[in-house]
Every structure is written in structure tokens, then in C-alpha cells.
């Protein structure tokens, strides 16, 4: 397994080189000048020039690229053009709300989605199954931003059960306050995943329930609950784990829409704001960071498969 | 099976009940205001005493979309995101009142009649850490602000030929008259803020403030929390001595009624709207579609006379030399065809209380410079016959005219209305719509390919020579004209308010009226909302809240 992991990590290097290069040049091809955007339309021309000089934006693009790659290789990801602080620090500072949002929404979606899928599989082709499938389709179809706004209106403005926006850092208000502040966005984000997880679980459960060992378990006199949860569920979880794993990685990369609608200062919002400001270095760092996350998630998922199904051999 | 059906039914019933009970009107909570016993009207002499004045107290939470990017006042570059909080922590050597006059703030001042020298004498003033302000702090701050480059360098320090310090005073001698020098020094938006020399020395050359503890000014608030993506919290400076600077607006006493001022960052307009309605914020914006609901639930609407003008510019650069917009008659045709009233109504989304049909680059309150030359020259005439005659005179042959705008917003609304009016006289308009991030850069680049660009800018208050958008700079569409150059030189080289300066500006307005390098639609007022118990209480075009208080 160690050899497998090392081989996978090495194969990542060319991918990262392509990502770094593509992102660097794409960012600079997009119209928009960071100096004007950051200083505002009424900024004096002298201020704009001074800013560009300070940020090294007047250098030739190739020189900027070479400097950037050299710095990356030595672990220096650069400073944000906007904040003038190290980009990696900015990412780390934004991780807390994003991680909490990711974990909370994943927990909700798994705790609700898997049971929904099992129930739908158990009562397939009944009213229960149809109802849950409808909810799944509904959940997959609703845009997150619309659901978010509706939830803000209903639960925030009208009922005042939850805050309508913002995030309370753990350091400031404690874990429970932090979770309370992101309950609405977690639901909004998790709702889509509930639907996907439920449908996947239903589908794989139905496949697994047709296997001989399940028939044998029933023949032995085990209760339906034991048959489902002890024998069938574990074997049906592999595709669900893939789905959950990738959605978690995606959320770690930043749920841009959710964080923007609910004003959560996470990585997704940072990515969006950096793009709008043409904060090249920050945006490059975020994309590189997310690319690395996805790759590591992929490797981690492979290891989890092995645990779920010991028969799997690594090449 | 039965149990499961019952469970699902109960869940649906619960959901229905929750939805039904949600359909009630609830009053939004008001922001935290001070809890006080009813008191008699305070004695005038005790008006500024927190003990007797019940205006003191409370936390003002302001929703802002701007994200500050520096702690350093001299690196603020006049960006809204920075000065919106820095103006409470730092003050200037002199200040500019809402009446357009300069007043002493940290320093008394003497500006020579010929504009070639300025003497600043430091007053009995203290920083928030208790240390006394000395003339060395003023001199060091000026030097540092100038060393960063930018406008403080070009408008102030690069004109200095001699600096003489004597006791508590410094006298700057200038190589030439700087019409914008005093305004730059007095600008509450920076970067002419005064900070301790000790901190400047500690930072060294070229280094910015990165530690909140080094944010020390003379202002009526101190920086408590700096989390630029989330919130910036200012607390009242208990060492601050309220001073009557002698004027109005920024030059009126800074009473610091609020215990804390919190800039709560929220870059999404819908989220800010929800926050205002839910009572999360004391002051903030509301999206136009929610404005009726906001007023229904009791939010107060404030029209801010901050003198923003909306305009279009013609790309008159060499890079666009083959375009018909280079022909004056074509530009006159555009002006004659436009209904400014309808365009401004479109820009302000149907709210006629939010604008006035005033194309001047200087407010009407400035009696020295204000004139009606632009207003009286084929402005808002919507004369299609005249427009067509100009069009014919220009030799326009139906070519496509590209009008660059950003998606959504005021520029877009103006362009949609304006394009229709121009098509009515036979002009073929291509609306080039780009995202707001790209727009700023594209319109400032002469090779972008646009013939018409959109612009908005605040008017100059003191001297029209300060108004770069309509007078100098790329915003004026790269308009080159020998007479313009002479007149600008005269305006920038003469004393503010002098006969020469006013005459040059009047001649400049005549030239613009004749050449039409740009067309100003009108002057707009910004809109802000507050909770019902908030009294904004400020004057002038820059928003500040040190005199804002809760009414309950």
C-alpha cells in the first residue's frame, strides 16, 4: 500500500504543473485590472501606478510566471495582492467556517440521506418509495441559492429561529454558537446531497439485496433490520462513500454560492472575492490548494475502499 | 408499514404547520440602543457630556460591502474599504467643512495668499495612547504619506521645495500653486492622516503597519478588532477631547455618541438586505425590489446628497480615430437625442426623488465656481429633429457604435434607455455588456474597441480642477484639445477662487458645451436605510457616523 501511495503522489506532479500554468495565464487573460478594481473607479492615476509598481504587475508576464513557479517550489505561495498577507495564511484563516460547513452538511446529508435510501429500498414501489424519490428529485433540482434565500426568509426573517447571515468563529462564541450560525447554510447545502445520497443508497441496496448471502441471512432467521444494516448496508456503501468523499472535497474547495448567500467568510467566498478583485496570487493559491485536496481525497478514498472490501488489491 | 406511513404523515403535518405559522408579519428587532431612564432635556453646556447626554451609548452596526486591505493609513490609497474606518481613528492636520472652507484640526494653519507656502502649528492635541502630538509627528506623517507615492506625493510633497520647522510649527514652501494641495491634506479619506513619529520610525522605510497595536491616531475612536473579511470594530477613544473645529460636516465637533462602531462585512446585497430587515444591522443598503417591504417594516430611508454624477464619455483617443464619434456633430446629435430625465429615472429605478437634472461638475452650493453653462446648452432637450440634423451633418452612414457597460446596475440601465433614444434617430447601437470586474479596466483602455463608455463620479467640492473624471484623466475619453490644455493649465496654476481660476473654469465649461467630449446625465443621491431609532446626523458628501445616535 505504501508503494501505491507513493506512486500516486508522484503521478500528481505533472498534473499540478499543468494546473499551476493554466491558472496563472488564465487569470491574466481575463479582462480587468487588479489595481483599478482594488482602489476603485475614482482612484487617482498616480495611486494606480504606485500600486502596480508595488505589486510587480508591471513586470513581463513570463518573468512573473518564472518568479511564481520558483517561489512555489520553495514553498512560498506569495502574498495576496489585496490583503498583502501570505495567501496560505488567508486560506488557513478561512478554513474554519468552510470545514465546519462541510462537516455539518455532510453529517446532515449522510444521517438523513442513507436512512432515506434504505427506507426507499425496503419499501420500493410503494407510496413511501415514491414520496422519498420525489423529495430526492426535488432536492436535486432546487438551486442552492434559491433554497438558501427561501430558508433565510422563512427561518431567519420571519420566524427568527436562526441568524440570516454571518458566522460566529469558535474562538469568539464557542462551538455551539458556531454550529448554530451555520445551521441554515448547512441545510441548504446538504439538501442537494441528501437527495443524491438517498438515491445512490437506494440503488445500491436494491442491487445488494438480490445477492445470495442476503437470501441466506434471511433463511437463517435474522430480522430484517439485521439483514439490512449488518449484512447489506456495508456492501452497498462503496459508491456512496465515493459520492460523499468527492462532495466533501468539493465543499472544502469552497461552497461559493452558499457562502456568498449566507455571508460566511470561508474559502468559497474568498475564491469568489479574489476572482472579482483579480487578486491573482490569492486565486492561484486557492485553486492549487483545491487541486491538491482533490488528489489527496482520491487517494484517501482508495484506502477506504480497501477497508470496506478487503478483496480489493492495489495495483 | 403502518408506523412508517404515520411517521411520514406527521412530518408532513409538522411542515405544513411550520409554514402556516411563518406567514405572519413580524416587526424586525431594532438595533441595540442604550437603555436609559427618561431624562430632562440636557443643559446646552453639558451637551457633550456622556453623563448627562442620553445620545451617548449603544453599538452601531454598519453593513458594508467593502473589505479593508490594510491597517496602514498612508497605504489606504483613498479606497472606501479603508477610509470608512480609518477616518474615525485618524485625523488630519486641517479639515474641510461641508461649507467648502478649510478649518484647523490637529494644526492651525496659515496658507499664503499666493499659494506658495503653508504654515502648520500643532495644537494641544493627543494621540489615543495619551502621547502629545508634536510637529515632528506631522512632518513625519507628511513625508511618509508622500513617500508611498500616489496623490499625496503629486499633489503635496513633490511641490515642496523647503521645509522649515520652528518650535511647534512647520512652514512648507511650494514650487508652484497646488490647487489640490489643501484638499489633499484635509481629505478625510486620507492618506494625509497624522500618526506618531515613533511608530513611523519603528516601521522603517517601505514597511506597512501589520500589528493592530500600531494603529494609533488622534481620532474619536480606536481600533479594537480588525478582521477585514468579517468585521472591523471601533471603540470610543476615552482620551479624546471633543473639539469644535469651527465648521460644519467633518469640521463640526466629533461627539462619538456610539460606544462602538462595527463595520460588518457582507459582500452580497441580498444578504445585506435580509440582515437589515432582520435587524442585524443599524445602517445598510436594501435592494431596490425589497425597498417597499423595508419601508413597510419601519426601516428609515435616507437620501444622501453625496453628489454622484452619471455620464458617458466618447472614446476620442487616437486608437479610435476612424470612429464617427470623433465628429463633433455626431456627439451633438447624441446629446440632442437624449432625454436626461428619462435616463436618470431609469438609472435610479423609477425613484424621481433621488436625482436632479444638474450636469455641473461642481455642486450648486459652491457659489464661486458653479455655473449653468452645461445645463443651458442643448441639455435634456430631446429634440429628435435637431439630433437628426446634427447626425446628417456628421456624415454618419449607419455604422455600429459600441457602447460599453457593465452588467446590471446604473450603467446598464442608462445604456438601455439611451440606446433606445439613439436608435430612434437612426444610430445603430451595439451594447457591449461585460462583468463589472472587467468593465473598469476595459473602459480605461483606449484600444478596447468601445466608442462610448460609462462613468460616474463624485463632484469636486472646492475647485473643479480636483475633479479628474470630468476635467483630466482617462475618464475624459482621451480628449485632446489645445484650448483645453491651456485652460486646465490656467485652472491648476491659479489660486482657488481667484478671478483667473473662475474665468478659466467658465471658459472650460463653454468648451465642453461646444465640443461635447462627454455628456453628464444628472446628479444622483445615494440611498441608505437605517433602523427606525437611528439618527444619522451628518452633513456633506462623505458619510461619517461619529455624530450618529440612537433616539431611544
**Residue B77 with chain A: CB contacts under 8 Å:** 39, 43, 47, 50-51
Written as one string, the DSSP assignment of B215-232 is: ---SSSEEEEEEETTTEE
Is any Cβ of chain B less than 8 angstroms from the Cβ of A255?
A: no
- Asked if residues B528 and B294 have their Cβ atoms less than 8 Å apart, the reply is no
- Which of A28, A29, A30, A31 should we substitute to test contact with B (largest number of B Cβ atoms within 10 Å)? A31
Other C-beta atoms closer than 10 Å to the C-beta of B502 total 18
- CATH 1.10.3720.10 maps onto chain A at 94-308
The residue in chain B having the minimum alpha-carbon distance to the alpha carbon of residue A120 is: B4
Is any Cβ of chain B less than 8 angstroms from the Cβ of A275?
A: yes
pTM to 2 decimal places: 0.82
- Asked if residues B181 and B94 have their Cβ atoms less than 8 Å apart, the reply is no
Is any Cβ of chain A less than 8 angstroms from the Cβ of B541?
A: no
Other C-beta atoms closer than 10 Å to the C-beta of A73 total 8
Measured CA to CA, the distance from residue B118 to residue B122 in angstroms comes to 13
Comparing B337 with A192, the larger pLDDT belongs to B337
Of B259, B135, B147, nearest in space to B197 by CA: B135
Comparing A290 with B143, the larger pLDDT belongs to B143
- Asked if residues B476 and B444 have their Cβ atoms less than 8 Å apart, the reply is no
Q: In chain A, positions 194-253, which contact chain B (CB-CB < 8 Å)?
A: none
Domain ranges of chain B: 55-299+531-550, 305-525
- At residue A254, the pLDDT reads 58
For A186, counting Cβ atoms within 10 Å of its Cβ (0-12 exposed, 13-18 middle, 19+ buried), the class is buried
- At residue B40, the pLDDT reads 36
Give the tens place of pLDDT for each residue, A6-62. Answer: 877 787 888 888 888 898 888 888 777 777 666 665 566 666 777 777 767 777 888
Measured CA to CA, the distance from residue B50 to residue B86 in angstroms comes to 23
- Asked if residues B303 and B525 have their Cβ atoms less than 8 Å apart, the reply is yes
CA distances from B453 to A301, B301, B320, B467, B523 (A): 52, 31, 13, 18, 18
Which of A100-114, A233-247, B380-394 is least confident?
A233-247
Of B292, B272, B270, nearest in space to B281 by CA: B272
Which residues, at least 6 apart from B206, have a Cβ–Cβ distance to it below 8 Å? none
CA distances from B289 to B282, B286, B292 (A): 20, 8, 7
Per-residue pLDDT of chain B (552 residues; tens, 9 = 90+): 555 556 555 666 655 555 444 443 333 333 333 333 333 333 333 344 556 788 999 999 999 998 898 999 999 877 888 999 999 999 999 999 988 889 999 999 999 988 899 999 999 999 999 999 999 999 999 999 999 878 899 899 999 999 999 999 999 999 988 888 999 999 998 899 999 999 999 999 989 999 999 999 999 999 999 999 899 999 999 999 999 999 989 999 999 999 999 999 998 888 999 999 999 999 999 988 888 899 999 999 998 887 888 899 999 999 999 999 999 999 999 999 999 999 999 999 888 999 999 999 888 888 899 999 999 999 999 999 999 999 999 999 999 999 999 987 889 999 999 999 999 999 999 999 998 778 887 888 888 899 999 988 888 888 888 776 666 555 566 888 889 889 988 888 888 888 999 999 999 999 999 999 999 999 998 889 999 999 998 888 788 999 999 998
- At residue B11, the pLDDT reads 63
The residue in chain B having the minimum alpha-carbon distance to the alpha carbon of residue A47 is: B150
Residue with cell 446629446: B335
Is any Cβ of chain A less than 8 angstroms from the Cβ of B2?
A: no
**Residue A165 with chain B: CB contacts under 8 Å:** 266, 268, 271-272, 274-275, 280
What CATH number matches the domain at B55-299+531-550, 3.30.1490.20, 3.40.190.10, 2.40.50.840, 3.10.20.30? 3.40.190.10
Residues paired with residue B529 on neighbouring β-strands, in sequence order: B284, B301
Residue A152 is nearest to which of B149, B274, B473, comparing CB atoms?
Answer: B274
Residue with cell 461646444: B514
ipTM, interface predicted TM-score of the complex: 0.78
Comparing B85 with A116, the larger pLDDT belongs to B85
Of A205, A206, A202, nearest in space to A194 by CA: A202
The answer, yes or no, to whether residue A84 has pLDDT greater than 60, is: yes
For B134, counting Cβ atoms within 10 Å of its Cβ (0-12 exposed, 13-18 middle, 19+ buried), the class is middle
- At residue A229, the pLDDT reads 74
Q: Name the DSSP class of A229.
A: I
Q: Which CATH architecture does the domain made up of B305-525 adopt?
A: Roll (3.10)
What CATH number matches the domain at A94-308, 1.10.3720.10, 2.160.10.10, 3.40.630.10, 3.40.50.720? 1.10.3720.10
Measured CA to CA, the distance from residue B434 to residue B432 in angstroms comes to 7
Residue A165 is nearest to which of B271, B434, B458, comparing CB atoms?
Answer: B271
- Asked if residues B369 and B502 have their Cβ atoms less than 8 Å apart, the reply is yes
Is any Cβ of chain A less than 8 angstroms from the Cβ of B51?
A: no
Mean pLDDT to the nearest integer, A158-173: 90
Mean pLDDT to the nearest integer, A259-268: 90
| Set of cell numbers at residue A95 | 478554513
Amino acid at each position: 500500500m505504501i508503494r501505491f501511495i507513493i506512486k500516486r503522489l508522484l503521478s500528481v506532479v505533472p498534473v499540478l504543473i499543468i494546473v499551476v500554468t493554466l491558472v496563472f495565464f488564465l487569470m491574466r487573460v481575463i479582462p480587468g485590472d487588479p489595481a483599478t478594481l482594488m482602489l476603485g473607479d475614482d482612484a487617482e492615476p498616480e495611486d494606480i501606478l504606485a500600486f502596480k509598481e508595488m505589486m510587480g504587475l508591471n513586470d513581463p508576464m513570463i518573468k512573473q510566471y518564472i518568479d511564481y513557479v520558483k517561489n512555489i517550489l520553495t514553498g512560498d505561495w506569495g502574498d495576496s495582492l489585496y490583503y498583502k498577507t501570505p495567501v496560505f495564511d488567508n486560506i488557513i484563516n478561512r478554513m474554519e467556517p468552510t470545514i465546519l460547513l462541510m462537516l455539518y452538511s455532510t453529517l446532515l446529508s449522510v444521517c438523513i440521506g442513507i436512512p432515506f435510501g434504505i427506507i426507499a429500498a425496503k419499501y420500493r414501489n410503494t407510496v413511501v418509495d415514491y414520496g422519498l424519490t420525489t423529495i430526492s428529485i426535488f432536492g436535486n433540482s432546487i438551486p442552492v441559492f434559491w433554497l438558501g434565500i427561501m430558508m433565510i426568509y422563512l427561518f431567519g426573517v420571519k420566524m427568527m429561529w436562526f441568524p440570516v447571515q454571518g458566522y460566529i468563529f469558535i474562538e469568539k462564541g464557542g462551538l455551539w454558537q458556531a454550529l448554530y450560525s451555520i445551521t441554515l447554510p448547512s441545510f441548504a447545502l446538504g439538501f442537494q446531497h441528501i437527495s443524491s445520497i438517498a438515491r445512490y443508497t437506494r440503488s445500491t441496496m436494491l442491487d445488494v439485496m438480490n445477492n445470495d448471502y442476503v437470501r441466506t441471512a434471511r433463511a437463517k432467521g435474522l430480522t430484517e433490520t439485521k439483514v439490512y444494516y449488518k449484512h447489506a448496508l456495508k456492501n452497498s456503501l462503496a459508491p456512496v462513500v465515493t459520492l460523499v468523499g468527492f462532495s466533501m472535497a468539493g465543499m472544502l474547495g469552497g461552497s461559493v454560492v452558499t457562502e456568498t448567500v449566507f455571508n460566511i467568510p470561508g474559502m468559497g467566498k474568498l475564491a469568489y472575492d479574489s476572482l472579482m478583485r483579480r487578486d491573482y496570487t490569492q486565486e492561484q493559491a486557492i485553486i492549487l490548494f483545491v487541486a491538491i485536496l482533490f488528489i489527496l481525497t482520491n487517494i484517501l478514498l482508495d484506502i477506504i475502499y480497501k477497508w470496506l472490501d478487503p478483496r480489493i488489491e492495489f495495483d | 408499514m403502518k408506523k412508517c406511513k404515520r411517521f411520514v404523515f406527521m412530518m408532513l403535518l409538522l411542515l405544513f404547520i411550520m409554514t402556516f405559522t411563518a406567514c405572519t408579519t413580524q416587526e424586525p428587532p431594532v438595533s441595540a440602543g442604550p437603555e436609559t431612564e427618561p431624562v430632562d432635556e440636557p443643559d446646552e453646556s453639558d451637551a457633550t457630556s456622556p453623563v448627562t447626554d442620553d445620545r451617548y451609548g449603544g453599538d452601531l452596526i454598519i453593513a458594508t460591502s467593502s473589505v479593508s486591505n490594510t491597517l496602514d493609513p498612508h497605504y489606504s490609497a483613498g479606497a472606501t474599504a479603508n477610509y470608512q474606518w480609518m477616518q474615525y481613528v485618524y485625523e488630519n492636520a486641517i479639515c474641510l467643512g461641508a461649507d467648502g472652507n478649510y478649518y484647523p484640526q490637529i494644526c492651525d494653519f496659515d496658507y499664503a495668499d499666493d499659494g506658495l507656502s503653508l504654515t502648520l502649528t500643532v495644537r494641544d492635541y493627543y494621540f489615543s495612547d495619551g502621547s502629545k502630538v508634536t510637529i515632528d509627528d506631522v512632518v513625519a506623517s507628511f513625508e511618509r504619506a508622500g513617500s508611498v507615492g500616489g496623490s499625496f506625493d503629486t499633489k503635496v510633497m513633490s511641490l515642496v521645495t523647503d521645509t522649515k520647522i520652528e518650535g511647534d510649527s512647520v512652514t512648507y514652501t511650494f514650487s508652484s500653486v497646488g490647487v489640490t494641495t489643501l484638499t489633499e491634506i484635509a481629505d478625510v479619506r486620507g492618506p494625509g492622516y497624522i500618526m506618531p513619529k515613533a511608530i513611523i520610525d519603528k516601521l522603517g522605510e517601505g514597511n506597512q503597519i501589520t500589528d493592530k497595536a500600531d494603529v494609533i491616531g488622534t481620532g474619536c475612536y480606536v481600533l479594537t478588532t480588525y478582521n477585514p473579511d468579517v468585521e472591523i470594530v471601533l471603540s470610543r477613544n476615552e482620551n479624546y477631547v471633543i473639539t469644535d473645529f469651527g465648521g460644519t460636516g467633518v469640521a463640526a465637533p466629533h461627539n462619538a455618541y456610539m460606544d462602538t462602531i462595527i463595520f460588518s462585512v457582507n459582500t452580497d446585497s441580498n444578504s445585506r438586505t435580509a440582515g437589515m430587515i432582520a435587524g442585524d444591522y443599524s445602517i445598510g443598503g436594501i435592494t431596490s425590489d425589497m425597498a417597499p417591504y423595508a419601508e413597510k417594516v419601519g426601516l428609515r430611508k435616507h437620501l444622501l446628497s453625496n453628489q454622484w454624477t452619471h455620464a458617458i464619455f466618447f472614446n476620442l483617443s487616437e486608437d479610435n480615430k476612424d470612429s464617427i464619434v470623433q465628429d463633433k456633430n455626431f456627439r451633438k446629435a447624441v446629446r440632442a437625442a437624449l432625454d436626461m430625465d428619462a435616463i436618470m429615472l431609469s438609472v435610479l429605478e423609477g425613484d424621481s426623488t433621488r436625482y436632479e437634472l444638474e450636469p455641473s461638475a461642481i455642486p450648486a452650493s459652491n457659489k464661486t465656481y458653479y455655473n449653468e453653462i452645461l445645463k443651458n446648452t442643448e441639455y435634456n432637450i430631446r429634440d429628435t429633429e435637431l439630433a437628426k440634423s446634427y447626425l446628417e451633418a456628421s456624415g454618419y452612414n449607419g455604422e455600429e457604435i459600441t457602447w460599453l457597460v457593465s452588467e446590471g446596475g446604473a450603467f446598464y440601465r442608462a445604456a438601455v434607455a439611451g440606446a433606445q433614444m439613439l436608435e430612434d434617430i437612426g444610430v445603430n447601437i451595439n451594447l457591449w455588456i461585460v462583468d463589472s470586474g472587467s468593465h473598469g479596466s476595459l473602459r480605461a483602455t483606449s484600444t478596447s474597441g468601445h466608442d462610448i463608455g460609462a462613468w460616474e463620479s463624485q463632484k469636486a467640492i472646492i475647485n473643479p480642477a480636483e475633479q479628474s473624471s470630468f476635467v483630466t484623466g482617462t475618464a475624459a475619453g482621451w480628449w485632446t484639445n489645445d484650448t483645453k490644455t491651456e485652460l486646465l493649465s490656467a485652472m491648476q496654476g491659479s489660486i482657488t477662487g481667484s478671478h483667473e481660476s473662475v474665468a478659466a473654469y467658465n471658459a472650460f465649461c463653454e468648451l465642453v458645451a461646444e465640443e461635447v467630449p462627454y455628456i453628464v446625465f444628472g446628479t444622483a443621491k445615494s440611498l441608505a436605510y437605517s433602523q427606525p431609532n437611528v439618527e444619522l446626523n451628518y452633513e456633506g458628501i462623505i458619510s461619517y457616523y461619529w455624530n450618529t445616535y440612537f433616539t431611544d
